[in-house]
Structure 1
């Protein structure tokens, strides 16, 4: 059995988790919207056509803020197509995913769906094929009370009160050659700052995220962030990050270590943002919005990305997640928690059907994929102060390959701890929650818990997610991967907890100061 120690101190706080850290993403991609969150005529549908079973699962998942309408989709989207009487809305060729967009679901329907789910909307504007003026018109439509062309148009469409959307994304992945309206950093920086200026003039209360590089393995990474921030620094609040973990190399130990590369990515972007702040002589700090992250690899090529014939809501990118995927995903949850001081917003991409924790059958049921469970733990139990923790654990060496397009980023990892952990303290609940990932495939791990600053730490509950078959998946009819009580739980007289091999464990401990 492996032996490890987890040490933390109540007075050593990384940062409080922001409610927006537990967000997700809805894009007009495949069956994410149509047949996902929206399906009039479904047995559980509301009067608005929203799938009630999906709403219930979204509530259980614990998602808090939802990014919309893209993603790659937004860079070719005319928002005016998705408002007004449904019968008058045009059908369009959608170039990002080679489908027909019927526009029967648009901005107002999205806001209504968010309100039903107690979710904060995060709206992205098109800075690919459109520009700053279109962005300010959408903001006026959504947020201005009345008495102007676009605010009165919203009222005419049936939404008298403003939507009051606070979080806005200034485009999407603008350095990506796959993006409609791809731009250089200078081109993007110039239009982003102009969009921000006009939008803030209409509503000074909004928060804005500028687009970072599409990935750490992009040739533009680093230089892109610096140039964009030099243009936008004084007008924005966030810089965005995107990453997708994968096991295309079929190397499970490397895959389970991939979230450590995510840690490095976050810290590099923080460093760049602070470097630009110093260069500009500012004490302002730009926060990070990790507004796309997930495991994604099986459906990244060929007919899984698009289908011929320009279909409506095709079944594409419907990743079937394994137990192994859930473990790598859990590591990403820990990475986000351990950077709660600067990562203030994050969006799991995506929410339903397309690379998602929830799958549906059109006209039929909805069910939880394996990655649903670590996200639900992260979102529902990760509220509070993240304590800086120190892990003393045996390690292993590996190399993680993160391909995207033609770029293969090799990340050498000479000493990956078998134990990855985050610690969250809720003063309100008087609970310390331990998020523990055992990355050893064949050995259990005995973890000594050494928490200071508390007069007592008493074991309360513990659950574990594991399966003997790392390739096990959840289907409509069988869901073999689900959390269960940790066997023989109860920290022993030496304060140790035993983690099974290849497992995700969440331990709740009552505490007294």
Structure 2
């Protein structure tokens, strides 16, 4: 990376009263799709020594609870666009085995809607359920809302009761299909076709349960040729019956160009701003009062498994698929992506790291255990300590040239938790060689002291965690690096590092 004048200094400027938004805890959500070993051998593995009586992996559940995941999107993803939800309920012996078109495998349906809801309850998380708007339509969307949320006395609510679940699940958040602009999607649609379908589905689902919220599909990624026009058209069609618009984006480093890879947070920031602009344009044109907020319900690093997955055999059950082994530099970008979403907390209300277990995931399993990948740590720490009010964080720091434009050497955001009298500063130092000296005026937070400075760093950018060496990349205590003197926080951010600086009274 190029060096600049006044390098190695970063000034963080905040004001207690200049806030962006209260953090919606759902921004720390995740995703479980019927894909690879996410469900089978991931969260569910009957007969495994770690499984409970229902087949749920207790060791995995413990790690999920460590993250404090607030919502989990399910059952897809591409999977949902040819999925019949009825296949996944009722006696397991009666559930059909189906060819699964999205990922070219066989789906046994031995883990389904009822099991997922039971698993969510045991995990302490909430569901974000997706309906099939690919091969199916608005009637099936209505029926699954009735199955999940109606009390009884009607066909599908009584079906749930017959299946052993008396009380409604009360699912509040629903995805209206998945990536319906993508030609890879079963039953993919034009923007006009999807907008109309989403509008009708949202309308009829809310007639069944007026308390639900709906998420419409935005573009599958920023590089789609219809990006922008797709969002505008869908919003024009469905504005009144949707509450959120989705964003999906993954980043990779196949070129082994770390500076440009870490600069992807700049691209993510631009992406969010562009979609917000489109939402507000349609709001103005339609003269509406409500804002359409964003659900960044697929985001992560994804590229390590691409070549391996080309060799997979088709029509088998839950193969090792999309199993990216994450390295240390991936964790740095994941930290920057989390910071970017927090800086947009006024409009990004929901986000799902894709996915949660085994499939492009922070948690990996084998028959003999579960362990944390490198990206687990920024995700977990931001979820645990990033709840509160996001302060408008101005970061004065040198930049470097990247393919996305000027990229700051340091990404940073500050979250104030007034209820618990805590302030947390999250920062990524992208400089691969040099430490940065950080200062932040905290005199408005009188009597706040540093209680912890956690640092994730490693000399090898490609270092990974394995079952044999699960702690190769993990945070270390660096509290001695930070102090508050006369209200001024000073801290050292090591080269190539993820930092969490916690202050409290």
State the distance in 2 between where 1:218 and 1:253 align.
Answer: 24
Look up the match of 1:404. none
State the distance in 2 between where 1:139 and 1:487 align.
Answer: 49
Structure 1 contact 98–307 (Cα < 8 Å) conserved: no
Q: Give yes or no for the alignment of 1:373 onto 2:369.
A: no
* Cα displacement (A) at 1:487: 5.8
Match of 2:395 among 391, 396, 400: 391
| SS of residue paired to 2:262 | helix
How do 1:396-475 and structure 2 match up within 5 A?
Answer: 396-399=400-403, 412-413=404-405, 415-451=406-442, 453-475=444-466
Structure 2 contact 450–483 (Cα < 8 Å) conserved: yes
Look up the match of 1:310. 315
| SS of residue paired to 2:17 | strand
Structure 1 contact 11–453 (Cα < 8 Å) conserved: no
* Cα displacement (A) at 1:90: 0.5
Q: TM-score, normalised by structure 1?
A: 0.95
Gaps of at least 5 residues in structure 1 are 400-411
Look up the match of 1:217. 223
* Cα displacement (A) at 1:492: 6.2
Look up the match of 1:495. 489
State the distance in 1 between where 2:292 and 2:442 align.
Answer: 32
Look up the match of 1:327. 332
How do 1:466-485 and structure 2 match up within 5 A?
Answer: 466-479=457-470, 480-485=472-477
Count of aligned positions: 496
Look up the match of 2:287. 281
Look up the match of 1:145. 151
Look up the match of 2:209. 203
| SS of residue paired to 2:317 | coil
Gaps of at least 5 residues in structure 2 are 1-6
Look up the match of 1:242. 248
State the distance in 2 between where 1:282 and 1:249 align.
Answer: 45
Look up the match of 2:4. none
State the distance in 1 between where 2:419 and 2:479 align.
Answer: 28
Structure 2 contact 18–392 (Cα < 8 Å) conserved: yes
Look up the match of 1:406. none
* Cα displacement (A) at 1:490: 3.0
How do 1:93-132 and structure 2 match up within 5 A?
Answer: 93-132=99-138
Look up the match of 1:56. 62
* Cα displacement (A) at 1:48: 1.1
* Cα displacement (A) at 1:452: 5.2
Look up the match of 1:159. 165
How do 1:234-273 and structure 2 match up within 5 A?
Answer: 234-273=240-279
